[in-house]
Amino acid sequence: MASSVKKKSANIVVWIILLLLVLGLGGFGVTNFGGRQAAVATVGDTEVNINEYYNSLQQELRSYQAQTGKPMPLSQAIALGIDRNVLARLTTAATLDNENKRIGLSVGDERVRTEILATPAFQGLDGKFSRENYRAALRGAGMSEAEYEDKIRAETARTLLQGAIMNGTAAPAAMTDAFIEYTRQRRNFSWIKLDATTLPEQVPEPTDEQLKAYYDANTADFTVPEKKRLAYIWVTPDMIVNKIEVAEEDLQKEYDSRADEYQKPERRLVERLIFPDEDAAKAAKARLDAGEATFEDLVKERGLALLDIDLGDATIETLGDAGEAVFAMGAPGVIGPINTNLGPALFRMNGILPAQTTTLEDVREQLQNELAMDRARRQISASITEIDDLLAGGASLQEVAGETDLELGQIDWSEGDTDGIAGYNAFREAASAVQSGDYAEAKELDDGGIFAIEFVETVPAALKPMETVISDVIAGWENEETEKRLTELADGLLARLNEGQTLESLGYPVTTEEEILRNANIEGMPFGMVQTVFEMDKGQAKTIDGNGVVYLVRLDDILPPDENDPDLAATRSGLDTAIAQALSDDIFTAYVTSLQSQAGVSVNTAAINAVHAQFPQ
Q: What is the pLDDT of residues 396-428, one digit of tens each?
A: 999 999 999 999 999 999 999 999 999 999 999
**Average pLDDT for residues 254-282, to the nearest whole number?**
90
Cis amide leading into 566 (omega within 30): no
CB 198 within 8 A of CB 510: no
What distance in Å separates the CA atoms of residue 564 and residue 575, rounded to the nearest whole number? 18
Length of the chain: 617
pLDDT band of residue 261 (cuts 50, 70, 90) is: confident
More confident residue, 233 or 67: 233
- In 393-452, which ranges are continuous DSSP H helix? 397-403, 425-433
pLDDT band of residue 32 (cuts 50, 70, 90) is: very low
pLDDT at 10 exceeding the cut of 60: no
**Is the sign of the CA dihedral 422, 425, 426, 430 positive or negative?**
positive
What distance in Å separates the CA atoms of residue 358 and residue 360, rounded to the nearest whole number? 7
pLDDT of residue 78: 92
**Average pLDDT for residues 379-401, to the nearest whole number?**
93
CATH of domain 227-241+362-460: 3.10.50
pLDDT of residue 37: 58
pLDDT at 16 exceeding the cut of 80: no
3-state secondary structure of 590: helix
pLDDT at 72 exceeding the cut of 50: yes
User: How large is the C-alpha radius of gyration of the chain?
Assistant: 38
DSSP classification of residue 273 = E
Q: Give the mean pLDDT of the chain.
A: 88
Nearest CA among 260, 271, 263 for reference residue 314: 271
**Average pLDDT for residues 588-600, to the nearest whole number?**
94
pLDDT at 29 exceeding the cut of 50: no
pLDDT at 318 exceeding the cut of 50: yes
Domain spans of the chain, in order of start: 1-30, 186-217+470-559, 227-241+362-460, 266-354
Surface-to-core class of residue 349, CB atoms within 10 Å of its CB (0-12 exposed, 13-18 middle, 19+ buried):
buried
For the domain made up of 266-354, give the CATH fold.
Chitinase A; domain 3 (3.10.50)
pLDDT of residue 412: 96
**Average pLDDT for residues 290-316, to the nearest whole number?**
92
Q: What is the pLDDT of residues 513-539, one digit of tens each?
A: 999 999 998 887 888 899 999 999 999
pLDDT at 34 exceeding the cut of 80: no
Work out the number of other CB atoms within 10 angstroms of the CB of residue 430: 19
Percent of the chain whose predicted confidence (pLDDT) is above 90: 65
What distance in Å separates the CA atoms of residue 32 and residue 29, rounded to the nearest whole number? 7
450-459, strands of its sheet edge to edge: 407-413, 227-235, 450-459, 443-444
Work out the number of other CB atoms within 10 angstroms of the CB of residue 59: 11
pLDDT band of residue 548 (cuts 50, 70, 90) is: confident
**Average pLDDT for residues 152-165, to the nearest whole number?**
89
**Average pLDDT for residues 73-102, to the nearest whole number?**
93
What distance in Å separates the CA atoms of residue 311 and residue 330, rounded to the nearest whole number? 19
For the domain made up of 186-217+470-559, give the CATH fold.
Chitinase A; domain 3 (3.10.50)
What distance in Å separates the CA atoms of residue 296 and residue 190, rounded to the nearest whole number? 55
What distance in Å separates the CA atoms of residue 482 and residue 484, rounded to the nearest whole number? 5
Question: CA–CA distance from 51 to each of 31, 139, 204, 606, 613 (Å)?
Answer: 10, 16, 80, 14, 14
Amino acid letter for position 542: K
pLDDT at 384 exceeding the cut of 90: yes
